[in-house]
Amino acid sequence: MMLALNMSNHSAIEQLGTVTNRILVVEDEESIRELLVLGLEEEGYEVVAVADGHTALTQCQAPVPQPQDFPFDLIILDLMLPKVSGLDLCRFLRSQGNHVPILMVSAKTTETDRVLGLEVGADDYISKPFSMRELVARCRALLRRNRLNIAADTPTIVHFQDITLYPEEYRVSVRGLAVNLSPREFRLLELFMQNPRRVWARAQLLDRVWGIDFIGDQKTVDVHIRWLREKLEIDPSQPQYITTVRGFGYRFG
Ligand code: CA
């Protein structure tokens, strides 16, 4: 068994200032389980280790109000386990719509086992004997990939003073009241709010909001800015949100 534990702890440092990832280790062989716990804790992870599939299931079924409150960020799952097998556990979690990253570990090394593990929804597969360094690298990759997915899935609601923009719902509220924006006005405001204080030339706004194929006048921008001010500003003639930058264009905020 190659279980090198003399790893650098740069990843523990890398994790400082971020939320500690919790890993569930499901492994019936005590020596391997202990080495996994030691190695992962040394890397800065919080580890819960269990020895059979049934206990793992209990850990995973603790009632959580929201899917994102699932208690683990990653599961390291042995394939051959007493009571409930790794395959069954994996299959069960996926059937519940649980997308927690799963790294399957097994002494079996045939391609069939690998394929089966991945088919029931495991994200990656590592066979025993493995090096702790490789296992940690794979864990890190899975966690990173998952973080990126979550970030991509989470709609970013944008606030600026009294204005709130909900990109997913295509909705804007100003001083607590809903305002109706045309698609162009919406896109323009979204761009502004995502880049507060940035100065935009009319040509840049045309490119970003209307697209480079747009054939028309830069006055189009001025017209939309006027409409947007009428909907957002308390006094459109004294704009507080969208200000004109003489000789250049516009700025939000
Ligand atoms: Ca086993």
Q: What is the 3-state secondary structure (H, E, C) of 130-144?
A: CCHHHHHHHHHHHHH
Average pLDDT estimate for 217-243: 94
For residue 55, report the distance from its CA to the centre of ligand 1, in Å.
14
Strand-pair category, 102-106 with 74-78: parallel
For residue 202, report the distance from its CA to the centre of ligand 1, in Å.
64
Average pLDDT estimate for 16-20: 57
User: What are the structural domains, with CATH classification, of the chain?
Assistant: 7-153 (3.40.50.2300), 158-252 (1.10.10.10)
Query: If pLDDT is split at 50, 70 and 90, which confidence band does 9 have?
Result: very low
Q: Which of 36, 16, 35 has the alpha carbon at shortest distance from 24?
A: 36
Segment 64-113, tens digit of pLDDT: 555 556 889 999 999 989 889 999 999 998 888 788 999 999 886 677 77
- CB proximity list for 212: less than 8 A, separation 6 or greater: none
pTM score, whole prediction: 0.55
Query: If pLDDT is split at 50, 70 and 90, which confidence band does 13 have?
Result: very low
For residue 186, report the distance from its CA to the centre of ligand 1, in Å.
55
* Residue scoring higher pLDDT (64 or 183): 183
For residue 21, report the distance from its CA to the centre of ligand 1, in Å.
24
H/E element, 167: none
For residue 6, report the distance from its CA to the centre of ligand 1, in Å.
25
Task: Give, in order, the Cα–Cα distances in Å from 75 to each of 11, 61, 214.
Answer: 19, 14, 50
For residue 129, report the distance from its CA to the centre of ligand 1, in Å.
12
pLDDT at 66: 58
For residue 104, report the distance from its CA to the centre of ligand 1, in Å.
11
For residue 244, report the distance from its CA to the centre of ligand 1, in Å.
68
Average pLDDT estimate for 208-220: 80
213: region left, alpha or beta (phi > 0 left; psi from -120 to 50 alpha) = alpha
Confidence check: pLDDT of 210 > 90: no
For residue 221, report the distance from its CA to the centre of ligand 1, in Å.
65
